[in-house]
Amino acid sequence: MNREPRDEKEFLDAYDSKAYPSIALTADLVVFAVAGGVLHAAMVRRGGHPFKNALALPGGFVGPHESAEQAAYRELAEETGLDLGRLPVHVEQLATYSNPDRDPRMRVVSVAHLALLATDGQTLPNISASTDAAAAAWHPVHGVLHGTELAFDHTTILTNGLDRLAGKMEYTTVAARMLPEEFTMTQLRTVYEAVWNTTLAAGNFTRKMLPQLEDTGRKSKASIGAPAALFTATDRHIHPPLAKPASK
Amino acid sequence: MNREPRDEKEFLDAYDSKAYPSIALTADLVVFAVAGGVLHAAMVRRGGHPFKNALALPGGFVGPHESAEQAAYRELAEETGLDLGRLPVHVEQLATYSNPDRDPRMRVVSVAHLALLATDGQTLPNISASTDAAAAAWHPVHGVLHGTELAFDHTTILTNGLDRLAGKMEYTTVAARMLPEEFTMTQLRTVYEAVWNTTLAAGNFTRKMLPQLEDTGRKSKASIGAPAALFTATDRHIHPPLAKPASK
DNA sequence: GTACTTGTTGTCAGCTTGATAATAACGAAT
DNA sequence: ATTCGTTATTATCAAGCTGACAACAAGTAC
């Protein structure tokens, strides 16, 4: 059966770090933001081969003294030019992609992360500020997934990121992380509709969400129509979950 | 701001693989099986420092030409002696643990996996067959988590594995992967009770599960009491989800 | 047979859901 | 100031689901 040593730590004690071919570890990012009722993802356009001119997810190497999550935050700041000290952002680990052939040049293992940026639902955060050629730009997610070919296995990663967000929104209030501190019920519903790519009945949505939110007592100044109540949200479980409509 | 190159792939083109300190990549396993109404996990006892004599999760290095998932399957076979060709087993990726200090000796990044073994609910798969000193043995999960200190960050990993399984059982039929091809409703309910560490009303459980299962028409030969119908399950979504009781 | 155990089906009040309507609050046009 | 268009919030109602629990069915042990 030709067994290897079973205890990884015992193995490590005798491990010569030059003996194994080195594995490069990167942190890639699926960065989402909602504007105009459409879910957008930050993507960079590749300048060199392979996959020249194709769109790719932002990301970069994990440094020797940082965790993958720390690297994700750092890369997010570097590649988008966002001031993370000011802009609230939710980052969570998505999955790790380790297929030996996923990069044709060498062994690269990527820890993908999901990042959610807060917007007012109208304008996307400005990520073109960076002078770098590979600066990130926003692309509509549902459009990109139906047509565009992404570099490497990034179509899979983007799809998994979307599925993760869509699923998590069923049973948590994470959608509120994509809005300002205070938001209206309609803004929150728009986030759901953008991510799920569907429409939801406003009345029933309010009834279901209301117990999960905190009413600030303040009202939004609407340019037209009735003023809407402003809510805040703390990360919370929705129980029973909000059902995502089946079709589409 | 001292920026790094933004495009990981461009960086790689100029990357000298000896320039960075190598990162060792391992695949660790949270292996679950239910017996006697109790959820068990396979653990190895460490022989050397650090964490000498402490319990640890099975796992090992990811080889140069295999994915983390392939390594997980291989390590599962090697460390437990299980014949995976015969025994059905469900393996899915859990999360990646990359804190730079998680191993005091060197940089080890671990891709943790969740593995579910099928049992009849009574006897655990024999994993002592291996002659290796670090052979795995079964330990009750809820007991281990309330008291025992595990090596490295394995308490965190084990907790995350349990949470993943408990959560997924709410909205999928994955619990059936811990039972034989054909099983009774009571066997399935016992899996839920073992993982959730609670009790469930038999009648309501049947009502909720019935539409997700396929009735084989066959009956189990019970040693006592009425014979139970035998079901099979395909991986399916439960909608709306099965609610896990709140307390404990 | 009787007692005991286990599995399956039924009942019922209370709650949740989806669809839809009614009401309320505002700006703009007249 | 009244009306209209628009948006937000609350109400209504039938259908379905849930949790608690009871009733029934099918086997073994004595």
Give domain limits for chain B: 24-169, 172-232
Closest C1' nucleotide to B240's CA = D17
Segment A75-102, tens digit of pLDDT: 999 999 888 888 999 999 999 999 999 9
pLDDT band at B133 (very low <50, low <70, confident <90, very high): low
pLDDT band at B179 (very low <50, low <70, confident <90, very high): very high
A240 C-beta less than 7 Å away from strand C: yes
Report the percent of chain B where pLDDT is more than 90: 77
B203 C-beta less than 7 Å away from strand C: yes
Query: Given CA atoms B52, B54, B58, B64 in this order, what sign does their dihedral have?
Result: negative
State the Cα–Cα distance between residues A33 and B111, nearest whole angstrom: 28
State the Cα–Cα distance between residues B72 and B94, nearest whole angstrom: 11
Segment B187-226, tens digit of pLDDT: 999 999 999 999 999 999 999 999 999 999 999 987 899 9
State the Cα–Cα distance between residues B218 and A126, nearest whole angstrom: 63
CA angle at residue A64 from A61 to A68, to 5 degrees? 55
- Which residues in chain B are contacts of A59 at CB distance < 8 A? 8
pTM of the model as a whole:
0.92
Closest C1' nucleotide to A238's CA = C16
Q: Which is nearest to A188 in space by CA: A214, A217, A160, A157? A: A214
State the Cα–Cα distance between residues A60 and A72, nearest whole angstrom: 8
Query: Given CA atoms B99, B102, B106, B108 in this order, what sign does their dihedral have?
Result: negative
3-class secondary structure, B109? strand
Task: Say which of A10, A65, A132 has its CB closest to residue B100.
Answer: A65
Q: What pLDDT shows up at residue B217?
A: 96
Flag whether pLDDT at B143 surpasses 90.
yes
pLDDT band at B131 (very low <50, low <70, confident <90, very high): low
- B149 Cα distance to chain centroid: 19
What is chain B's Cα-based Rg? 21
Which of A57, A96, A170 would best serve as a mutation to test chain B binding (most B beta carbons within 10 A)?
A96
Q: Which is nearest to A94 in space by CA: A71, A110, A70? A: A110
**CA–C1' A189–C11 (A):** 39
DSSP labels for B120-180? -BSS--------STT--EEEEHHHHHTTPPBSTTHHHHHHHHHHHHHHHHHHB-GGGGGS-
Average pLDDT over chain B reads 90
**CA–C1' B208–D18 (A):** 10
Flag whether pLDDT at B23 surpasses 60.
yes
Q: What pLDDT shows up at residue B129?
A: 64
- Which residues in chain A are contacts of B25 at CB distance < 8 A? 23, 25, 98, 109
Looking at the DSSP assignment, which residues form a beta bridge with residue B233?
A: B213
Ramachandran angles phi, psi of A34, nearest 5°: -110, 130
CA angle at residue B100 from B97 to B106, to 5 degrees? 105
3-state secondary structure chain A: CCCCCCEHHHHHHCCCCCCCCCEEEEEEEEEEEEECCEEEEEEEECCCCCCCCCEECCEEECCCCCCHHHHHHHHHHHHHCCCCCCCCEEEEEEEEECCCCCCCCCCEEEEEEEEEECCCCCCCCCCCCCCCCCCCEEEEHHHHHCCCCECCCHHHHHHHHHHHHHHHHHHECHHHHHCCCCEEHHHHHHHHHHHHCCCCCHHHHHHHHHHHEEEEEEECCCCCCCCCEEEEECCCECCCCCCCCCCC
Which of B2, B3, B6 would best serve as a mutation to test chain A binding (most A beta carbons within 10 A)?
B6
Task: Say which of A78, A93, A107 has its CB closest to residue B95.
Answer: A93
In CATH, the architecture of B24-169 is Alpha-Beta Complex (3.90)
β B137-140/B38-45 pair status: antiparallel
State the Cα–Cα distance between residues A68 and A88, nearest whole angstrom: 19
**CA–C1' B28–C18 (A):** 45
Lowest mean pLDDT among B4-18, B118-132, B206-220: B4-18
State the Cα–Cα distance between residues B209 and B189, nearest whole angstrom: 9
Average pLDDT over residues A144-150: 95
Q: What pLDDT shows up at residue B135?
A: 82
Are A28 and A154 spatial neighbours (Cβ–Cβ below 8 Å)? Answer: yes
Flag whether pLDDT at A33 surpasses 70.
yes
Average pLDDT over chain A reads 90
Q: What is the CATH number of domain A172-232?
A: 1.10.10.10
- Distance to chain A for B23, nearest Cα, Å: 6
**CA–C1' A220–C27 (A):** 14
- Which residues in chain B are contacts of A135 at CB distance < 8 A? 6
Segment A160-209, tens digit of pLDDT: 999 999 999 999 999 999 999 999 999 999 999 999 999 999 999 999 99
Q: What pLDDT shows up at residue A6?
A: 43
β B24-35/A213-219 pair status: unpaired
Flag whether pLDDT at B39 surpasses 80.
yes
Task: Say which of A20, A59, A240 has its CB closest to residue B64.
Answer: A20
Are A242 and A171 spatial neighbours (Cβ–Cβ below 8 Å)? Answer: yes
Flag whether pLDDT at B180 surpasses 60.
yes
Q: What pLDDT shows up at residue A128?
A: 77
Are A167 and A175 spatial neighbours (Cβ–Cβ below 8 Å)? Answer: no
Q: What pLDDT shows up at residue B10?
A: 47
Q: What pLDDT shows up at residue B12?
A: 46
Judged by CB atoms closer than 8 Å, whether chains meet at A6 and B79 is answered as yes
Residues 182-201/B with CB within 7 Å of nucleic chain C are 184-186
Segment B67-110, tens digit of pLDDT: 999 999 999 999 998 888 888 999 999 999 999 999 999 999 99
Give the residue from chain B lying closest to A171, CA to CA.
B241
Report the protein residue whose CA lies nearest the C1' of nucleotide D9. Answer: A203
Are A104 and B71 spatial neighbours (Cβ–Cβ below 8 Å)? Answer: no
Closest C1' nucleotide to A230's CA = D8
**Residue appearing with tokens 């969400």:** A209
Are B133 and A5 spatial neighbours (Cβ–Cβ below 8 Å)? Answer: no
Q: What pLDDT shows up at residue B223?
A: 82
CA angle at residue A118 from A113 to A119, to 5 degrees? 135
Q: What pLDDT shows up at residue B128?
A: 77
Segment A220-231, tens digit of pLDDT: 987 899 999 999
Average pLDDT over residues A107-131: 91
- Which residues in chain A are contacts of B51 at CB distance < 8 A? 9
Q: What pLDDT shows up at residue B11?
A: 47
Judged by CB atoms closer than 8 Å, whether chains meet at B4 and A68 is answered as no
Task: Say which of B22, B62, B111 has its CB closest to residue A22.
Answer: B22
What stretches of B37-91 show up as alpha helix (H) in DSSP?
Answer: 68-80
Q: Which amino acid is at A48?
A: G
Q: What pLDDT shows up at residue B82?
A: 87
State the Cα–Cα distance between residues B213 and B194, nearest whole angstrom: 20
Judged by CB atoms closer than 8 Å, whether chains meet at B6 and A60 is answered as yes
Are A73 and B105 spatial neighbours (Cβ–Cβ below 8 Å)? Answer: no
Q: Which is nearest to B22 in space by CA: B111, B110, B107? A: B107
Give the residue from chain B lying closest to A75, CA to CA.
B6
Flag whether pLDDT at B19 surpasses 80.
no
Judged by CB atoms closer than 8 Å, whether chains meet at A10 and B48 is answered as yes
